[in-house]
Structure formats: structure tokens, C-alpha cells
Structure 1
């Protein structure tokens, strides 16, 4: 349904990504759709798909973004936009972006729908033209008007495709909005495919690299459980010192919330703030203590944006420092560290991500009771061939 407003146009009622009755694309759209669905499984094609979509609508540049409506922060993929503008946005303009800073984020998201709208449907041009965001950020890029194609929402994060038009050209009108509406369902479907494949790739990589028989939990950036190995399922059924409550890992009987704190630190939004750590839970009824390792994990496979932080939690019975039982992955990774290889080089040799290599090396260091990598290598060499 088209809805006229005094200062612009918004379109609602876009076809759902699951709606097989979406509008049939025109013949000129076929090449774009081939490229779009190629981008769904090969994210490196998204800039080309964005440029093609902009051309179809008579736009200039394009921005595929994931922004928080709480503070305007986020990330994005640019097409025909100076990459330096992304840096300026992150450093200052995110906080004053009038299109991504909602006074009441909760209420905004409660009313959010996957519509298509122009900047003037959001805010009269005269009001926008008085703002710093327009004069110091948009105008230097020769952006006078734009169309926002909403794609997805998760929490306070909204993903949209924005198509720009320069000064001297008419704002987007009904013809362009109708064309975008016709393709909206396809855009949302392709974007959702990319998101799901990225999430699946992350979980699969982490579980495959954990090693057979390991009790491993894969959590998302909010600490919610996504996947677990069969050994982890057995652990939850057999012991009462670790459980899942409200979709999150918990340690019953520990009011300090240490595990939750370690998971939050490993999944911190700022990469520099993320930390790996471990704790030991005393065993009940004569059982041995349990060591819980919490580490960062982020697979870049199939991710259109930087992959949201995720966490892998590994649980094992704690062993004495004089009898370290390294897994084959831990032993191999630390052996290559002894050969002077970097984490990136070890990842190439072993077919692992750099993050996973760091995870295995750090696990080996902790099991060996070493204070750093050099100490861990020395202990490994002194022990000869570590037992598994």
C-alpha cells in the first residue's frame, strides 16, 4: 500500500521473504536478481549488486548498513561511496544521525516494519537542511536525498539498503519506489540467506574444530546458546554444576555470576575489549573439578558485515598440571608455535581460522600451567610427547 505524506513517500506492505506470491520481476530485473542471489552465498558480490540496484533506481551510491537505533553505531558495506566517510561516521556522525537515533529505541522497534521510505517521509527537507548531519556529512558526499529499503531487525539493530541521489536531481518518486517495492521481497530474502549462512558457518566451523568428544557450546554475541556437541548435551544431563536457563549457560549455586561475566567479556562489542578466560568449578559428591574455558570465536566465512562476536565454551574435567592431557589440535598448534610460526601461518597449515588457533594455543597454555606461550612451549618440549 502506498502512503502519501506531506514531505515524502513511504511504502508499506512489502512481500515477506517467505511469500512465494511476491510480485513477478520485470525482464530488466533478471540480471540484477541473478547477481543478488549470487551475493546471498558469496558476500563479496554485494557491492556489485548494490551498484546495479542503484542504477535501476537512478541512484548514485549505496550503503548496506546494520545500525543501532539506540546510538546510531554500526557498520556497513559501501558502493560508490568514499570509504573515508565510514571512518568519519563511526568517529562522530553516528551519534547525530537523525535517521538512526531513536529517542525511545524500545518503542521504535516495537513499531518497526520492513517498509521502504524516503528521507522526506522521515523528516521534512527544510528540517534536515538545518542539521549538522546534512551540511557536514551528506553535502560533502553530494547526497541530497535518499531511499531507505529496510531489510531486517534484530534487537536494536536495523539492517537497511540506502540508495542516494545527488543535488540537482529530483528526489525519488512513485516510479522508483514502485520498482523498489517490486524487488523488496527478493532483497530481504537474499539478505536473510546471507545472515543465516554466516551464522551457520560460524557454528559449524567452531564445532568441527573443537575435536571429537569435546564438550563445546557455541553462543551468540548475546550469550544465547546456538549449538552444542553431543558431549556437551551429555554433560548437561549428567552433572548439576552447569545448566541452561533461559537459553543461556549458567552455573547453579554460584551467585557471583562469574561464568556470565566471562562470556560477556569474550563477546564485548569492541574487539579490543574481548577477553578469553577460564574458571574451575568444584565437583559435587566426590566428582573431580570441572574446568570451563571461555574464548572468542568469529568466523569470517559468508559474512557480509563483520561477523558479530560469538563465544565458544569448552568444558572438561580439570587435571593436574603435571599430567596435562592436550588434544591433538592443542598439541599440533603449540608444536608449530615452537617452530616460530604465527597464528595466521598455523591456521593455513592446519586449515583453521586464526581465532581458532589462538583458542587451542591458549587452552594448551592453561593446561600446562604456563604463564605465557614461551613458557608453554618450554613445558611442551620438556615433556617430550604430551599424552592425550
Structure 2
């Protein structure tokens, strides 16, 4: 696929997902960590304007001088910006203005590609497309968080239940003790946090080729999993008690039957389907209850070629830290990953919400251990 075709396909996919929303949905922000759909549409466009068009297209005219302040996410190098928690306060600019902004920037990026075929430009556009694919997944999970906290539990799309997957395999894989190489070592795109191929020593371990199911987790709940402090790390136990947690996110008990919210509406929990929407502390407590543990991110990567993966982001026992010889790029691009290497845990794999062609076994996703609005799950080792 040509770079122009790739650009058009990815940009169109974002708008396509939003086409099932009503205009009232575009500006809603339910929580500080979940951005409104309108903001995602604008921010991903701002990225191409700021990093591609301004430096590369001669005489480029900015669409709106205010948009840099409104739609910059966290790039301190590029100036001031609104607080993340205030992204839902913007009834203006209106959604139609943002869609015009996207069309304007897209037209100019395609124009630029007709004039400039340099590797530097193409590499930055590919980075922008991968950045947009990350936001496509965030769009799905942020919209679900918005609808899942609406008392009417709106249906995004009647056939859009992303929680229906079952495990394909039920076996385990044994990995022998040894020294293994990890990190990205190919020629295609990867993020800077995957670079720095290096060797790690791993002890013998056995890893499940399946993920924990809803039925498995209900057994944990019914056994008092949320009331036994011995199973929990201290911060997790404080979170459980402070927030009265007794089930995964989006679960509701109705007439003694567990239901969960899906983007296809509220439905009875499928006990045989793969568990989703749990945080690191819940995953760790479940592993403790089973007498097993979570894999490290290196164990996961070493075993990945033998595993069925890609349905849930899988919590690992590894803190998000730099690989040996990690280097941040100069300028704003250098803020992309490195500055978040603190108080985060690594998740591996991909999820049902991950965009096509946006996964690989070296991908290092990372979230705060308390967060659970992503499609997260559990794989166990012993």
C-alpha cells in the first residue's frame, strides 16, 4: 500500500467509527482520563499539522491559531495547552468545524506527498498514523466509558459486542531456562521504547495458552476475592475499599444475574467469554488466589510465538522502564514515550479494540495499575 493510500485509509477509519455517534456525544468527557470524541478527531489532526505540515509544506497556513492550545495533549516543547480534565468543556469549536479541520489538513498532507518523497517525511507520517491508530483504540474505549456510565446504557451499534471472544486453545507452554533476546529487531515501524535489543535471563516457567474467562473470575468473586486482604497488594486493597469494588468495570448484578455493558448494549455475562476491563491489582489478586502469577513482559515476549494473543491487553508483572541504551529523540517527538516511564505497568499483546496492523509481539503498552477502562485481561504462569 502506498503512503498516500495508507494515510487516507487510517484517517477515514477514525471518522467512520465516529459516524455512529450523535452530535451530542462528541463533546462528552465523563472522566479526566477519557477524552471526548471531538477532541480525539482534532488532536490526531493537530499532530499532522504540527509535526508534518508546519515544518515541511512551504507557505502552509494554519487552519486556526487557537487549535494548538486546544488540542496539544502533553507536548511541553510545543507550548501551553488546556488541562486534560477540561477537554469536555469545549462546546466550541463545533464538531463540523473539526471535521472541516480534518479535511483541510488531509488535503494538504496529500499535496505535500506529491511534492516531497523524502524518508524523513514518510517516517514522520508513519509515526502520525500509528499515533492515530492508538487514538482509534482510545476512541472505542472512551466512548464505551461514556455510554457505560449513562443510565440508559446506549447502544453504539447493535452488532458491536467486543466481549464475545472465547479461548481457542486450552493448553500450556513450557519455556526452558536460558538467555533470550528481546526487543524489536526489524525494518518496519516500531516505537522507541521497543528499541535496544538485549538479552535477558529467564528461569523455567509454564505459561497458559489461554486467558482467564468471566466464569473463572466469577468463581474468584464468589470465593470472597474482593474481601480477602491477603490476596491484594496494599495500594490495590486501598482502592477496593475506598471505591467499594466488587466486580470488573461495567458489571452489574440484576435479579441475581451478572450483566455487563457492551457497545452493543447491556447483556448477561457470558461465562465462557474472555474476561475484560480489570486493572493490574485485580489481575494480581486473581493470580494470587489461583496460586500462580502474572508473567513478566520478557517471559511473555519469549513465549509469544507459541501463544494465542491479541484479544486483550495482558497485564504483566513488569514496571514500565527503559531498555538498555534507550534514547529519546530530540524535540517534541522525544516526549512521546520516555517521560512516562514512571508508576506504570507494562501490558503486552493487543486487544479487540486495537486497529488492524497495529500489533506486534514487542509492543510495550503501559498504563497506571489502577486503570481498567481498556480491554485488559489475565494470562497466568507458574
Q: TM-score, normalised by structure 2?
A: 0.27
Which protein has the bigger strand share? 1
